[in-house]
């Protein structure tokens, strides 16, 4: 993850070959930056959020609970069995 952040900072997205690739880089930079601003480790958050969505543990009307500022408090709670 650090390598990706370093590349995003150095290149400023200018080295991306296509518009779609540039959009993906900007999206990753946004996800990483918002997690950092909320005091959350980006890789841990992204991994947990994707697992929750894929496993169906988070419904479409609960997406707001996965935002970094809300996720931080949920991550401290024990997992429901």
pLDDT in tens, 42-55: 888 888 888 888 99
Q: Chain centroid to CA 60: how far? A: 17
Torsion of CA 29, 33, 35, 38, to 10 degrees: -170
Q: Which domain holds residue 38?
A: 2-75
Tell me if 80 is assigned to some domain: no
pLDDT in tens, 29-80: 888 888 888 888 888 888 888 888 899 888 888 888 888 888 866 666 565 5
Q: 15 is written with which tokens?
A: 């080295």
Q: What's the mean pLDDT in 8-12?
A: 53
Overall domain count for the chain: 1
Tell me if 66 is assigned to some domain: yes
At residue 18, the pLDDT reads 66
**Does pLDDT of 7 surpass 70?**
no
Work out the pLDDT band at 14, boundaries 50, 70, 90. low
């Amino acid at each position: 993850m650090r390598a990706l952040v370093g590349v995003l900072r150095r290149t400023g997205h200018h080295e991306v070959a296509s518009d779609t690739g540039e959009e993906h880089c900007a999206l990753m930079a946004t996800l990483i930056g918002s997690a950092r601003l909320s005091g959350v480790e980006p890789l841990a958050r992204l991994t947990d959020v994707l697992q929750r969505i894929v496993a169906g543990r988070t419904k479409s009307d609960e997406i707001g609970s996965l935002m970094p500022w809300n996720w931080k408090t949920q991550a401290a709670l024990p997992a429901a069995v």
